[in-house]
Structure formats: structure tokens, C-alpha cells
Amino acid sequence: MEPDLESPLRAHAGSARQEWKHPSDHWLRGFVLDNRASLGTLAVFIVMMAVFLVANPTVFTTWYLYSSVLTTLPVALFVVVPLVFVVTCGEIDLSFPATMGFASWVFALVVQAGYDPFLGIAAALVTGMLLGFLVGSLVVYGGLSSLIATLGMNFLLRGLIQIINEGKSMSLTSLSGSWAYRIFSSQILGVPVQIFWAIAFVVLSAMLYNRHRFGAQVRVVGDNPDSAQQMGIDVKRVRVKVFVFVGIGAAIAGTFSVMINFTWWPTAGDGYLLPVLASVFVGGTPTWGGIGTVVGGAIGAVTVSFIQTGVVAAGLSGFYVQFFNGLIIILSLLGHKWNQARYR
């Protein structure tokens, strides 16, 4: 009896067919694993919006609601994204609200003096960079805790603003006819222009974080500063740079806030402290450093921005806003904690 040589061949071919997978399957699996934190945050946002839509479909199917959120959302995005870099680096910055107020104050002074708003924007950016460098130097070269040092700077700068201005605001109605307003804060087909600038900022920052040497240095320094030092990375310089980046983002946010309202307030930026921090952590950037997600932080900012509007539009009183803020934050953090070991 002759041996059946075809049977083993058929069996081998069958097993090969079972083991072979399309390259797109591997790509999709890799994409999900690499972006687990961002996708988790996006899932929370979709579920939340679905609940709001069911609660009040009339309001949540009108463009006016989304237009109002998109008007102020960019202000938060300009600060949330740089904070992802800071937290990834193993630090925290609580001085950004006062930096927003101080930089936007400089912008308002330049515009009120009759100069071109573009000059005011440049002055605000320089102010934000200098304040960021000052805060970073206190932490890095002064050896102070970033939590305490930045909190102290927040109170110091805010107090200085209040002392000089005596609590008075500044009206800047002349901005409405300027080219700066048309370019940065007008509308195109009913869509606020500032959201496009914010999206561009998020995209460029994500590329800086994931594809540039600076982003890699930030992650290495946050994960293990000693190893980073041995690799030839200037750890102190990298840590100072992330604080400067926050200063730049805060200056942009403060300037956009003034152009949206045509008014500068001495308390500008104060209301963004907790929502911005919540956005960073809801977005999937853990507190221990080394890893983070810029896109997740942006989605977190969108989620937090819709909570207050959604709760009120759903027919609940404003007293529920803090409750839902806490609920979303806790659920998001629990989800990221469960996923943390897998995507780290």
C-alpha cells in the first residue's frame, strides 16, 4: 500500500490558510493598541453625547449648540495640549491660568494704546515664553516642587494683575474691525474660525510629540531621567522647554479669549484650571510620566467642554454640572487604569 503523500500536504495547506491573516488585520490591531487611550476617551465622549441626545433631541440636533461650544473650546485646547507634554515629563504646571491672564493683559494694553493687534499678539507670545521660562527655571534650576512652585506663581501673577488694575476690566471694541479678528476669531459659513487654528495646533503638537526628537526626549525624561542623562539628553533643558511651551499655549489661549469677548478681565484664565487639568487626565495621560497622548487630551477637552452645555441643555439644573464632571472623570480614569498595562 502506497503512502498517501497528499493528505499531509493538504493538512499543512489548511493550517497555513488558518494562520495567515490579511495585513490590514495586523495594521488595525496595532492601531488600536497604540491608540487605546485616545479611543477609550472617544468612546466615553460618544456615550455621553448619545445620552444627551436621547435626553433632549431637539436641542442636540441644532447647530447653535455646537457653534457655541466650538467658540470657546479652542481656548482650552491651546492649554491642554502643552500640559500633556509637562505631565509626560513628570511635572505639573498650575500657573497657566495666571499666565493666560498676564499675557492677554499685555495684548490688551498694546491694542488699547492704538497699536496693531498683530503686534499685541507678538507681545503676548513673548510674555508667555518669558513667564514659562521663569516658572521652569524655578522648578528645574531652583530645585522646587513643580506643584508648589507653579501654584505659588499662579497666586503671585494673579495678585500682581489685580493690584495694578484694581480689578478693572478693559474694553477692546476696536478689535471687531481688525484683520487679526477676521483671521483668528471670525466665522466661515457659521463655523468659528478659531476651531480650525486649534485643530492645526493639535495636529502639529501631536507630530511634535510622536514624530519629533523633542517628543521622544520628553517621554524618556519622564520615564527615567537618569537613563535620559546617560543617553546624552540635557534633562534640565528639556524640562524647562515644556514649561516654556505651556507659556506659549497659555498666551495664545488668553489672546483668543480676549478676541472672542472684545474684553479683557483681571480674572481671565481663572475658570480654566480644573477643566483643563481634568481634560489632560480624562484624555489618558497618567500622572507618573513617561507616556501620554496629545489626541486623547484634545478629545478630553471636547468631552469636558460638552458636559456643562449638555447637562443644562438636557433640562437639568446647573447644580448637576459638578456631579457629571466628577462622574466622567472617575469613569475615564478607571477605564484608563484598566487599560494602562496594555498600552504602556
- The arithmetic mean of pLDDT across residues 18-38, rounded, is 61
Answer yes or no: is pLDDT of 191 > 70: yes
Given a contact cutoff of 8 angstroms between Cβ atoms, the answer to whether 78 and 201 are in contact is yes
H or E stretch at 205? helix 194-211
Better-scored residue on pLDDT, 123 or 35: 123
Specify the pLDDT at position 9.
46
C-alpha cell at 115: 497699536
- The percent of residues above 90 in pLDDT, for the chain, comes to 51
Contact 37, 296 (CB under 8 A): yes
* Rounded Cα–Cα distance for residues 73 and 75 (Å): 5
pLDDT at res. 186: 86
The secondary structure of residue 231, as a DSSP letter, is T
Residues with Cβ within 8 Å of 72's Cβ and at least 6 positions away in sequence, in order, are 260, 305
- What is the model's pLDDT at position 22? 54
pLDDT at 256: 95
Average pLDDT value over all residues in the chain = 85
Mean pLDDT along residues 40-47: 82
Residue 257: per-residue pLDDT: 94
Q: For 146-158, what is the mean pLDDT? A: 94
Residue 16: what pLDDT? 45
| Domains assigned to the chain | 38-343 (1.10.3470)
| pLDDT score for 23 | 55
Q: What is the pLDDT of residue 117?
A: 93
What pLDDT score does 336 carry? 66
Secondary structure of residue 192 in the 3-state scheme: strand
- pLDDT of 14 > 90? The answer is no
Instruction: Indicate if the pLDDT at residue 154 is higher than 70.
Output: yes
Q: Is the pLDDT of residue 15 over 50?
A: no
Average pLDDT, stretch 20-43? 66
pLDDT band with cut points at 50, 70 and 90 for residue 301: very high
Nearest to 251 by CA among 84, 165, 133: 133
- Quick one: pLDDT at residue 284? 82
Query: Residue 131: which residues within 8 A CB-CB, separation 6 or more?
Result: 95, 99, 102, 103, 153, 157, 247, 250
pLDDT band at 17 (very low <50, low <70, confident <90, very high): very low
Q: How confident is the model at residue 35 (pLDDT cuts 50, 70, 90)?
A: low
The confidence score (pLDDT) of residue 209 equals 95
Higher model confidence: residue 1 or residue 85?
85
pLDDT digits (tens, 9 = 90+) for 239-287: 999 999 999 999 999 999 999 989 999 999 888 998 899 899 888 888 7
pLDDT at 80: 96
Q: What is the pLDDT of residue 21?
A: 53
pLDDT in tens, 62-93: 888 888 889 889 999 999 999 999 999 999 99
Mean pLDDT for the stretch of residues 316-320? 74
Q: According to the model, what pLDDT value does residue 344 have?
A: 43
